[in-house]
A and B are shown apart, each in its own frame.
Chain A
Amino acid sequence: MALIEIRNLHASVDGKDILKGVDLVIEPGKVHALMGPNGTGKSTLSNIIAGRDGYTITDGDILLNGQSLLEMEPQDRALAGIFLSFQYPVEIPGVATSTFLKAAINARRRAAGEGEIDAMEFLKLVKAKAKELGVRDDMLKRPVNVGFSGGEKKRAEVLQMALMTPRFAILDETDSGLDIDALKVVADGVNALRSPDRSFLVITHYQRLLSYIVPDVVHVFAGGRIVRTGGPELAEELEAKGYADYTGAAA
């Protein structure tokens, strides 16, 4: 069975149609890339999968392991295994990153009927993962995303992903704002998480990231739906030719 299945998804914001019939099936263990021009609804799609308020679903469905997500609250979707690495991670002043991570881990443990994580165990776990991703210890003490550089924010997102062990992760423009070294670190982090029962949707504008996170399937997204699907070679074609063919079609 597909891990994630999106059927004929239509959605609007303030009466304006953004998604116009998205169909997408992702099998367990696969990495799909979603590419396309800016402003065509890619971030809308990721927000809707994660359950953000403010969108009206006018048709279609989103299934995780055959179960519809549409009626679920965002936190329940998260606990069911959906993870969104935000394009613009928000700052939460006054809340230390480590406090936040602990709260998120404990939310999962509570849902699984387990007790809260032991403080020492937590520290060990976080520090080990942080080291792998080049997240410095002092970042863990700082408030969530406050004063982080663009690259630090993206690393922190991937660190969270590593700690939350999701079933399905969406990386929304995770490459934006990263220099080449940071890009490699982030990509290594993602690749380390690839496993037969975990799937990814990598949303990006450029092919660059896909050289490091090699996708199984590439989709072109334009005008609120997927307009073309192919293998990794499609990403290279887009890099060479741009999106001109699709922007016209979308309008």
Chain B
Amino acid sequence: MAATDSTAQTVKELERYKYGFETNIETELAPKGLNEDIIRFISAKKEEPEWLLEWRLKAYRQWLTMTEPTWANVRYPAIDFQDAHYYAAPRQKIAPKSLEEVDPELLRTYEKLGIPLREQEALAGVAVDAVFDSVSVATTYKKRLEEMGVIFCAISEAVKKYPDLVRKYLGSVVPPGDNFYACLNSAVFTDGSFVYVPKGLRCPMELSTYFRINEKNTGQFERTLIVCDDGAYVSYLEGCTAPQRDENQLHAAVVELVALDDAEIKYSTVQNWYPGDAEGKGGIYNFVTKRAACRGRNSKVMWTQVETGSAVTWKYPSCILQGENSVGEFYSVAITNNHQQADTGTKMIHIGKNTRSKIISKGISAGHSDQTYRGLVRIQPGADGARNFTQCDSLLIGDQCGAHTVPYIETKNPTARTEHEATASRISEDQLFYCLQRGLNPEDAVGLIVNGFCKEVLQTLPMEFAVEAQKLVAISLEGSVG
């Protein structure tokens, strides 16, 4: 029957990527290339204050002195940073004041993606910020949130309306010079979401940003900043898709989270950028810097990521655990198929006393893909009583893929305790046969077993998205079982 034997070798063209369509809409583009004038152009388009332009230019000048990191276990041709548009926006006569004024073509695009923006059709309890190429085109439930004191808007809007908040926190977790891609982002970021939850408020709605790359030859450089004040709570989810194209496109985002005393942020990602075709042509380069500062006592940040898309992923959502008793958690499912490459993991930096972290990573490699878990757990001398638990499991489907685990565990405090476990194996023949004997076909059986393997991570997703994520897990592995 050879259900796993001939796996992955006869992988068919990906019909699975149902988000590969393109929206025909008139677009305003910056000229190709990157220089100080382009940055001035972006800043002017956004009507930004002088300080932000200076901030960008300073980052750009620093970026010029930096080199691309090469330590990750990913390979791709050199990127020509001059061969892309750094600003692309759907042409709209005037900035839409309400959803009624948004170009219907854009609304239709998001509907096709399964994200209705008209509030009467939208998922109840989920507010959405829709980012199309370089700009935010719509934010739902804005008014309701405002009434509660929650700020949820495009970051460009926040720069104008809440300059003090933005200025205080922007770059405070990921400084512009942090790394090559974060630095590039700092120079050219166009849009993204800004969230501020005031003291003591548990935000009753899920906040969600939906990122869409549409235009050819553009990169997307969004910047997200979430601040949870003392005792506040927010659950935030981002989703991403892009059209199916033969060229590679760059996505270099920066996400900064700040949690003050007793604050909690739950940040979930379902990343489904176009992964390229079965031969590895096209797809998004996903080079993202995500970091949370648990500044306050008893603060908590939980990252959940379901990574199924992108041709190349380079991403390490991290937590800096400064506040006493602060908690960082990282739950990840990464699936690579065909020729995808992913080097992803997390960093947990324990600084404060009694800080705790938990890392659960489930990697599934199929086809000719290569996947690496790379993680750092660092216990600083002052982190008395710190605790870390890490579990990394890899599943290999087919004999042409790779699965790698590279954890770094650095302990400088005797009262801290760290535990790390990693396993790698293939889907058990016994499990597969058991399912087949009950009448399941091999693809459903693998989907079921893999979903079971990922359960611990998937169940941390907000309920509205957990079901979608389970389907995505099964779809991403289509064609990997013979």
Give the interface of A toward B (CB within 8 A): 50-54, 73-75, 77-79, 82-84, 86, 89-95, 99-100, 103-104, 107-108, 111, 143-144, 160, 164
Pick from B428, B435, B437, B452: contact of A94, CB below 8 A. B452
Q: In the complex the two chains form, is A95's CB within 8 Å of B428's CB?
A: no
Q: A53-B429, A94-B455 are in contact. Are A74 and B436 (CB under 8 A)?
A: yes
The stretch that binds A, out of B344-352, B407-415, B439-447, is B439-447
Decide: A107 near B455, CB < 8 A? Known: A53-B433, A74-B1, A95-B448: no
User: Do A111 and B439 touch across chains, with their CB atoms under 8 A apart?
Assistant: yes
Partner of B434 from A92, A93, A111, A143 at Cβ < 8 Å: A92
Contacting residues, chain B, for A77 (C-beta < 8 A): 437
Could you tell me if A143 and B452 are in contact, using CB atoms closer than 8 angstroms? yes
- Chain A contacts for B439, CB-based, 8 A: 75, 78-79, 104, 107-108, 111, 164
Contact in complex: A90, B431 (CB < 8 Å): yes
Over the window 427-467 of chain B, the binary record of Cβ atoms lying under 8 Å from chain A Cβ atoms (1 yes, 0 no) is: 01111011111111110110011011111100000000000
Query: Given the complex of chains A and B, what is the CA–CA distance between A177 and B3 in angstroms?
Result: 31
Cβ of A92 and Cβ of B431 under 8 Å apart?
Answer: yes
A90 near B436: Cβ-Cβ < 8 Å: no
In contact, B1 and A164 (Cβ under 8 angstroms): no
Determine whether B2 belongs to the interface, using a CB cutoff of 8 Å to chain A.
yes
The reply to whether B455 and A93 contact each other, CB–CB distance below 8 Å, is yes
- Distance in angstroms from A102 CB to nearest chain B CB is 10
Query: Chain A residue with minimal CB distance to B470?
Result: A99
B438 x A164 contact (CB < 8 A): yes
Q: Enumerate chain A residues within 8 angstroms of B440, measured Cβ to Cβ.
A: 75, 103-104, 107
Docked CA distance A91–B434 (Å): 9
Q: Are B452 and A92 in contact (CB under 8 A)?
A: yes
A-B contacts, 22 listed (Cβ < 8 Å): A51-B436, A53-B2, A53-B3, A54-B429, A73-B436, A74-B436, A75-B437, A78-B437, A78-B438, A83-B437, A90-B434, A92-B431, A92-B434, A92-B435, A93-B455, A94-B452, A94-B456, A95-B448, A95-B455, A100-B435, A104-B438, A104-B439
In the bound complex, how far is the Cα of B442 from the Cα of A52, in angstroms? Answer: 13
Q: How large is the interface on B (under 10, 10 to 19, 20 to 34, 35 or more residues)?
A: 20 to 34
Q: Which B residues between 417 and 431 are near A, CB-CB below 8 angstroms?
A: 428-431
Bound state CA distance, A75 and B438, in angstroms?
A: 7
| Residues of A with C-beta under 8 A to B5 | 53
**Nearest 5 A-B pairs (CB), nearest first?**
A94-B452, A94-B455, A95-B452, A74-B436, A78-B439
Among A51, A95, A164: residue with most chain B CB under 10 A: A95
A75 touches B448 (CB 8 A): no
> B453 to A90, Cβ gap below 8 A?
no
Complex alpha-carbon distance, A54 and B429, angstroms: 10
Kindly state the separation between the CA atoms of A143 and B434 in the bound complex, as whole angstroms.
14
Judging by beta carbons under 8 Å apart, are B429 and A94 in contact? no
Question: Whole-angstrom distance between the alpha carbons of A78 and B429 in the complex?
Answer: 17
Which A-chain residue is minimally distant from B362 (CB atoms)?
Answer: A94
Chain A residues with CB below 8 A from B456, complex form: 94
Contacts of A82 in B (CB 8 A): 437
Chain B neighbourhood of A89, CB < 8 A: 434
Chain A nearest Cβ from B428, distance in angstroms: 7
Known: A51-B437, A90-B434. 14 other contacts (CB 8 A): A75-B441, A78-B436, A78-B439, A82-B437, A93-B455, A94-B455, A94-B456, A95-B448, A100-B435, A100-B438, A103-B444, A104-B438, A107-B444, A143-B455
